[in-house]
Amino acid sequence: MSLEWLDPKGDLQDMVMSSRIRVARNLKDRPFPHFASPEDLEAVRERVLEILSGVEHLKDRRIYHIDSMDPLSRQVLVENRQMSRALAQGGPGRSILLDLKGILSVMINEEDHVRLQVLLGGLNLQEGWCVAKSLLDRMGEDNFAFHGDLGFLSSCPTNVGTGLRASVMVHLPALARLGRMEAVSNECQKLGLVVRGAFGEGTPSHGAIFQISNQVTLGPSEEELEEKTTGVVRRLCEEEKRAREVLREAAGENLEDGIFRAFGILTNARLLSFGETMELLSSVRLGGAMGMLPKMSGAFWNRLMLDVQPGRIQALAEGPLDRKGRRRLRAQLVRERLAGLESCP
């Protein structure tokens, strides 16, 4: 199964990794997941899959029932960003439908009956919303719980209204190094957006990777939410560019030394933890963007960021690995990938 988001497009791919549109919906006349019995959840799954069976967009798809999946398969789908950590915990009626291009995923009986997700490379929220809207139209919006004043209903009050979350994953190493991310987060909050770690709420921002998404779903239209998030991300990228120049002037030789030390460790280390790898790779990519090292393309960076994840490392192995084995294989993978980077023109 391919993953479209690994190949970002557009003018900001050196900072913007991917864009995601996620829409929450619940079937009308059915109890929401938190209040539903196992029998209710099974009935919801059956009904949602019935609705999806008639959607041409999802003709080529795979359906996974979470409780039938082994832990590693669940972890890999989470790291692929196709499935939430909450859904991966399993439970009655929990399933996921994936298209074979790695663009669409439909999570069933997570916090809501349906969590539809569109994931694309680069800054591409507008196209993501067009794809999601087309799919929702074909599913039939009249199947879902709707209130005349509030809009679409959700298990969580912050998702009532449009039910839409527009989020963009960005790499902002200079702003992070200058200690400006708290100020960035505060400014985003004033605009109705939130800054989170790479895997959403409650997750750390390893390697200066952050998610920017809207907080408000009630009031503005889907198009307005998408446009606001896109505009804020563009401004953040401009701030990151300026921060890199400030960093160059302020840190000078110390910055260059730190970047080359990071490159030296990554190209020679025999054991690497996930957290250390992310921080060092972030420095190396910054060095490439500033002309000190070979530049990483967006596709190179995205693939590498994915493949060093713990589940992906285990999946790449020929057999089970202990913690040290995963660190060994991760170090080998990074050495091989960076050797390829050095040979690029």
Q: Tell me if 115 is assigned to a ligand binding site.
A: yes
Q: What integer pLDDT is reported at residue 345 of this predicted model?
A: 38
Tell me if 248 is assigned to a ligand binding site.
no
Residues 326 and 277 placed together within one structural domain of the fold: yes
Per-residue tokens: 280: 């060092």
- CB-based burial label for 95 (10 Å; 0-12, 13-18, 19+): buried
Checking if the pLDDT of 184 tops 50, the result is yes
- In this prediction, residue 1 has a pLDDT band, given cuts at 50, 70 and 90, of low
What is the spatial distance between Cα 217 and Cα 224, in angstroms, rounded to a whole number?
Answer: 10
Does 200 appear as a known binding residue? yes
Q: Are residues 42 and 179 in the same domain?
A: yes
Q: Are residues 271 and 182 in the same domain?
A: no
Phi first, then psi: give them for residue 99, nearest 5 degrees. -85, 160
Residues 101, 153: Cα–Cα separation, whole Å: 30
Mean pLDDT for 99-124 is 96
Whole-angstrom Cα distance, residue 139 to residue 143?
8
CB 171 within 8 A of CB 17: yes
Same domain flag for 229 and 262: no
Percent of the chain with pLDDT over 70: 97
Same domain, 89 and 153: yes
Task: Tell me: is residue 308 an annotated ligand-binding position.
Answer: no
CA torsion 276→278→281→283, rounded to 10°?
A: -80
Q: Which band of pLDDT confidence, cut at 50, 70 and 90, is reported for residue 199? A: low
Q: What are phi and psi of 318, to 5 degrees?
A: -80, -15
Residues 89, 214 share a domain: yes
According to the model, what pLDDT value does residue 2 have? Answer: 86
Q: Domain for residue 245, yes or no? A: no
Q: Is 166 annotated as a binding residue?
A: yes
- Note whether residue 246 is domain-resident: no
Q: Nearest to residue 23, comparing CAs of 84, 137, 114, 130? A: 114
This prediction's pTM? 0.92
Averaged pLDDT, 261-268: 97
Residue 115: domain span: 4-240
| 77 backbone dihedrals φ, ψ, rounded to 5° | -65, -35
Do 227 and 315 lie in one domain? The reply is no
Strand segments, DSSP code E, in the chain are 16-25, 61-65, 95-99, 104-108, 114-121, 146-147, 151-152, 164-171, 193-196, 209-214
Environment class of residue 318 by beta-carbon count within 10 Å: exposed (0-12), middle (13-18) or buried (19+)? exposed
At residue 9 the predicted structure's pLDDT band, cuts being 50, 70 and 90, is: confident
Q: Residue 99 sits in a domain of what CATH number? A: 3.30.590.10
The whole-angstrom separation of Cα 247 and Cα 175 is: 9
| Cα distances (angstroms) measured from residue 331 to each of 27, 50, 256, 268, 326 | 47, 45, 23, 8, 9
β-bridge partners, 118: 21, 104
- The reply, when asked if residue 22 is annotated as ligand binding, is yes
User: Are residues 24 and 168 part of one domain?
Assistant: yes
CA dist 318 and 17 (Å) reads 29
Q: What is the pLDDT of residue 290?
A: 93
How far is residue 111's CA from residue 89's CA, in Å, rounded to a whole number? Answer: 12
pLDDT at residue 188 above 90?
yes
315 annotated ligand-binding residue: no
**Mean pLDDT for the chain?**
92
**Ligand-binding site membership of 21 (annotated):** yes
- 201 is an annotated ligand-binding site residue: yes
pLDDT in tens, 290-305: 999 999 999 999 999 9
Q: Which residue has the tokens 């199947």?
A: 143
